[in-house]
Amino acid sequence: LQKSLNEIFGPDKYSEARKEVLTNMFSRPMQMALYFCTGVLENETLFRHYALNVPFYTHFTSPIRRYADVIVHRLLSASLGASSPIKMEKEAIQKQADHCNDRKMASKRVQELSADLFFSIFVRVR
């Protein structure tokens, strides 16, 4: 998609803006990634990463950014034997994952509404 967008727009002064608007519009319908505890889900096909086409996938970043990443780091450390197992039942981990998903979706919605507002103002002014 990105390659097609790059090829379709010419070198005029508005081409980059048109590409940004379309990229934003095309990416909105994509399903957001969700945090979940694998011990709670029985259907392993739900572990699949659609875009990467891999059957099992875990994503995490620096644990200073999100609480979900702190939990993943702790679980990974325990599974590698570098630390003791965390003292949380899988249902409690899933409850934390659900909370993180709720907060992430609320944040995304506010971001989208803000972008819509500023885009509307931009169009109105132009």
Specify whether 81 is located in the same domain as 117.
yes
pLDDT digit string, tens, across residues 79-120: 999 999 988 899 999 999 999 999 989 998 999 899 999 989
pLDDT digit string, tens, across residues 47-68: 777 677 787 777 778 777 788 8
Specify whether 77 is located in the same domain as 115.
yes
d(CA 70, CA 76): 10
Specify whether 26 is located in the same domain as 13.
yes
d(CA 24, CA 37): 30
SS3 43: coil
How many domains, in total, are found in the chain? Answer: 2
Specify whether 8 is located in the same domain as 58.
no
Specify whether 114 is located in the same domain as 82.
yes
The domain of 44 spans 35-125
Specify whether 102 is located in the same domain as 78.
yes
Closest CA to 59 of 106, 95, 108, 97: 97
Specify whether 66 is located in the same domain as 102.
yes
Instruction: Supply the pTM of this predicted model.
Output: 0.65
Q: Are 45 and 74 in contact (CB under 8 A)?
A: no
SS3 114: helix
